[in-house]
Amino acid sequence: MDNIKYDRHFLMDTGTVVEFVKANTDFFDAGSKLNACEIGDGNINYVFKVWDEATGKSLVVKQADKLLRSSGRPLNPDRNRLEAEALKLQGELAAGFVPKIYNYNENMYALIMEDISEYKNLRTELQAERIFENFPEQITDFLVKSLLPTTDLLLCRQEKKERVKKFINTELCDISEDLVFTEPYYDYKKRNIITDGMEEFVEEKLYRDEKLKAEVGYLRNVFMNNAEALIHGDLHSGSIFINESGIKIIDPEFAFYGPIGYDVGNVLGNLFFSWANKLCTGSTNGRYMDWIAEVIPEIYNLFKQKLEAEMERLINFPIYNKSFQRRYAARVMEDSLGFAGTELIRRTVGDAKVAEIVSVTEVDRRVRLEKLIISFGIRLIKGRSMISSGEEMAEEFKRLVKYDI
C-alpha cells in the first residue's frame, strides 16, 4: 500500500486512515499493529483515532470532505488547511493549549494531530456540574497569548497583512455572517427553529425590533471588517477540552482575521448557557451554582487585566501609549459583550442549538429558559457600552433572573 501518493482527495475510512498515518508520519514504530476508529461527533468533518495496541500510543486524524457531512451541501475543504495553520500558530504562541500538529496533507485535506482524549468536552463537564478552579486563568491565558501577538500592535504591519490574506476564510465566515448575524433577526432562509410557545416572543423581540437590528448590524459589520487578530472563530464550550491539569482548544476551522471580542464573547456567552440551564432546571448543587456565578465575571475581569498588562509590557510604539491601550481594551470588552449576546441568541433560535437548551424538554421550563437567554442576549447587545466590569455583566443577568423566573 505504500505506493499511494495521496496526491488527490478521497474520503478515508478506518482502514485507509491507518495506511495514511503510516505513510505520512513516523509517529509509530515501523511494523507496529495499528487500529483505528471514528470518534467525530460533529456534523461537518471526519475524525479518527489511530492507536498502537502494543504501546498504547495514539494520535488523531481530522479530514474535511468536499461535501458537508450533515447536509451533503458543498463546503470548501480548504478549511482544513486553515485549521492546521491556525493550530500551528496558536501552538507557537500559546504552547500547550492546543493539540500538536504532526502532519498536514493539503491534497487529502487531512491533518494528523496529538490525541487529547484525556481532556473532556467542557460543555459536557459543565452539564455534569464539574468545577474547574483554574479555568479562568487558563482560558484567559490562551485568549491573550493567542490573540494579541497576531495584531499589528505587535506584529510588523506588512507581515500582518500577509496573514490577513492567508487566513481569508470566505465560506466559513459566510456561515457565521448568516447564522449568527442575520437569520436570528431576519429569517430570510427560513432556517430558524422556534420552540413551540416562543413564536410571538421571537417575532416581537427579534424580528420587529429595529433598534436591536441596528445594533446587530453594527456588530455584523465589525465581524466582517475589523481584521484585528487571528481569531479561533468558533470558541464555544464544545471546542474547549478540560481536565484537572489544563485545557486544550480544538477545531479552529472558522479561523480568520477578525475582532478579538468575537472569541471572548463566545466563551462568555457559552458559560451563561450553563448558568441559565442550572437555574431553570433548579440545580441543588450549591457549590456549582456559586462557582459558575463567579467564574463568568472573573473571566471577563481577568481577560481585560491580562490584555492591558500584556499591551503595556509588549508595546513600545509611542503612538500606542497607555491611554490608547486603555481605550483599545475597553472597546474589545464592549465588542465581547455584544458578541456574547449574538451567540446566546443564535444558539436559541437557530438550528445549531446547544445541549443546555435542547436537554430541557418540559415545555414551560424550556420557554422560560429561552426567554431568559434571549432577553439577556438583547440586554448585552443593546447595553454593551454601559457595562464595564464582570460584576456589572453578571448583575444584569441576575436582575433578569429575578424578573423572569
Candidate residues 18, 21, 36, 45; the one interacting with ligand ADP per rule CB under 6 A = 45
CB of 389 to ligand ADP, least distance (A): 33
Residues 180-239 that bind ligand ADP (CB under 6 A): none
- Is residue 119 a contact partner of residue 242, using CB atoms and an 8 Å limit? yes
Using CB distances below 5 to 8 A depending on partner kind, what does residue 295 bind out of ligand ADP, Mg ion, none? Answer: none
Measure CA 194 to chain center: 23
Would you say 99 or 341 has its CB closer to ligand ADP?
99
Q: What is the grid cell recorded at 143?
A: 485568549
Using CB distances below 5 to 8 A depending on partner kind, what does residue 192 bind out of ligand ADP, Mg ion, none? Answer: none
H-type alpha helices, 129-239? 135-147, 157-166, 170-179, 199-202, 210-225
DSSP 66: S
Q: Which residue matches cell numbers 458537508?
A: 68
Residues 61-120 that bind ligand ADP (CB under 6 A): 62, 99, 113-117
Phi-psi region of 109 (alpha: psi -120 to 50; beta: other; left: phi over 0): left
251 touches Mg ion (CB under 5 A):
yes
Q: How many CA atoms lie within 13 A of 116 on its CB side?
A: 25
- Residues 208, 211: Cα–Cα separation, whole Å: 9
39 touches ligand ADP (CB under 6 A):
yes
CB of 45 to Mg ion, least distance (A): 6
252 touches ligand ADP (CB under 6 A):
no
- Contact pattern from residue 117 through residue 156 relative to ligand ADP, giving x for each residue in contact according to CB under 6 A and a dash for the rest: x---x-----------------------------------
Would you say 202 or 249 has its CB closer to ligand ADP?
249
- What DSSP string describes 1-63? -TT----S-----TTHHHHHHHHH---SPTT--EEEEE---SSS-EEEEEEETTT--EEEEEE
- Binding residues for ligand ADP (CB under 6 A): 39-42, 44-45, 47, 60, 62, 99, 113-117, 121, 250-251, 253
Positions touching Mg ion (CB under 5 A) are 44, 251
